[in-house]
Amino acid sequence: MKAERSAWGEVERGDWLPLLAEAADSGALMASVCTGAMLLAHSGVIGTRTATTHHVALDDLAATGATVVQERVVDTGRVITGGGVTSGLDVGLHLVERLVGPEAAEAAARRMEYPRLPVLVVDEG
């Protein structure tokens, strides 16, 4: 549902789009979960990269030019996208692995009693 109080509404308002583009241009690691990918896409951060989002928004993400796949997490180097809202756990654990190390990610997953799921890693810079 494309509600006013949602990622869709934020895309329509546009306030975040230049800030996201500026952060990406400065070299920041960018990540999204669920339809947050639409903010990254409409700010120009995703472009033609491989990406995912909530299953109801896959066609909308493809319409922005992204190469869309239906995965829990896609890591293209500078941009990480997660599927539905619960993939936020997977994105979080993947970020811990990338930024701190695999041991820390495994420890966090054990504490949460959450199974680590595979991440699609695509070398796109």
Residue 97 domain-assigned (yes or no): yes
Q: Is the pTM of this model over 0.85?
A: yes
CA-based end-to-end distance of the chain: 32
**Domain tally, the chain:** 1
Residue 66 domain-assigned (yes or no): yes
Residue 22 domain-assigned (yes or no): no
What number is the average pLDDT over the span 94-122?
96
Residue 37 domain-assigned (yes or no): yes
Domain that holds residue 94: 30-121
Residue 12 domain-assigned (yes or no): no
Task: Give the domain CATH number at 61.
Answer: 3.40.50.880
Residue 45 domain-assigned (yes or no): yes
Measured between alpha carbons, how far is 116 from 39 in angstroms, rounded to an integer? Answer: 26
Report the catalytic residues: 34
Residue 20 domain-assigned (yes or no): no
Give pLDDT tens digits for 25-49: 999 999 999 999 999 999 999 999 9
Residue 7 domain-assigned (yes or no): no
Residue 55 has pLDDT above 90, yes or no: yes
Give pLDDT tens digits for 66-99: 999 999 999 999 999 999 999 999 999 999 999 9
pLDDT at 1: 59
- Cβ density class 25-57: b for 16+ within 10 Å, e for less: eeeeebbbbbbbbbbbbbbebbbebbbbbbeeb
